[in-house]
Amino acid sequence: MATKLGLFLIIYIFYSSFFSLALPADAPPGDIESWCSTTPHPEPCKFFMSHSSHHSAPTQRAGFRTMMVELAMERALHGQTQARQLGQRCRNKRKKAAWRDCLNLFDDTIFHLNRTLKGLQSNVSSDFDAQTWLSSALTSLDTCREVSLQLNVSDFISPLMSNNVSELISNSLAINGVLVQEEEYTDGFPSWVSDGERKLLQSSSLAARANVTVAKDGSGSFRTIQAAINAAAKTSGNERFIIYVKRGVYMENIEIGRNLNNIMLGLMALDSLLVALHFRNTAGPQGGQAVALRSASDLSVFYACSFEGYQDTLFVLSQRQFYKSCYIYGTIDFIFGNAAVVFQNCVIYVRKPLIGQANVITAQGRDDPFQNTGISIHNSRVHGGAGPQAGEGWLEWNNSAFALDTLYYGEYMNFGPGSSTANRVKWGGYQVITSANVAGQFTVGSFIGGRAWLPSTGVPFTAGL
């Protein structure tokens, strides 16, 4: 089967009941209790606001937003302390593995909350930026919860999840979401890429301009990619650190810390550019969940890369990501996560699964109505070996009716074998999009604000439909 997709969208999940945030930004409701009543989780808001020594009733919604993010930060720092203390109680490998992941994820949450606060207090970031970072802060906590469930140690980890950080971040998202709707956007260029880098990706002298070279045969600065990344961590300054990787197969697990920024090979860092790399997980179809790449990098670009695996190949964990002219191979949920991500002009290969398994291309993890996240696949091809089928196209989560009316799954102008929507699912949340204006909300320009940061990278892209 080879199916051409005009624009294939997955935005998941909206709650079935919504709350009112209809007050104008400059019309205060009066006191803290009244402000808290406009949030999705009013009781934690009232309790922690009343027990915080430096919070008084705000006069504007923007001030209330900052106070709520500060409160979420206070509770997150408290949770981080709990997480560190919990390490003393690890009695087996599963508990220790979950604890290590959750401790790192709590650090991620604090990092994103701190980034949000700094941006709001200095007025150097937009409300759209804040919504992205708050979404990522919440996603990190949700990921901790999922890890504990997968390792069957949720009872052990549950004390970390009962400190109301998630509810306070959710409140922050809701408050900021109203301000996002009021924000006006203008096209421009970001500060994180200099004018001299505009055509860097198209340059034939990339190797000569690299800070270090990785070569498995010993002809470069380092033999492993991780060694080059470790060298980058020891440098100072704000210039982009370019790592040139010579052709070869590098069998290693690569980890890039959240504070290692401005490198031209980045996964967890900010503002990363990856070009012509192949990521492969060799666990095979029997290996179960086996990620080839996990990315939580904001404003990240993957150009002409490939990702090869079976189950859970590409983990688009969080923040704004763009994949251009890439190849993705897998079987079950092989594009998954809670980023705001657009795949453009990509090729998606559905591999032969094990007997009894069903192929599922995407699994999006959004669970808060104000997270600005989702998976958008634009002008791409889906290939499979089973031949074209006129099937339902979508699959329930664990064969249940969970969220079928509150999710948003949409298709717009698909064509090719298997693209007919005549026999699609009849769920309340599934949409055959007929309006270009509606479909336009999920394009590079609108969904990830690509006009403001992609032009300077030199990567070709289409901003609209």
Residue 367 designated active-site: no
Query: Residues 102, 144: contact at Cβ < 8 Å?
Result: yes
Residue 283 Cα distances to 142, 287, 317, 334, 459, angstroms: 26, 5, 21, 14, 32
How many CB atoms neighbour CB 259 within 10 A?
10
148 residue type, one letter: S
Query: Residues 257, 250: contact at Cβ < 8 Å?
Result: no
Consecutive H or E run containing 24: none
How many CB atoms neighbour CB 109 within 10 A?
27
SS3 (DSSP) at 123 = coil
Consecutive H or E run containing 412: strand 408-412
Whole-angstrom Cα distance, residue 255 to residue 2? Answer: 35
Burial (CB count within 10 angstroms: exposed 0-12, middle 13-18, buried 19+), residue 17: exposed
Token representation of residue 77: 């720092």
Peptide bond between residue 11 and the one before it cis (omega within 30 degrees of 0): no
Instruction: Write down the catalytic residue from 271, 333, 367, 368.
Output: 333
Catalytic residue list: 333
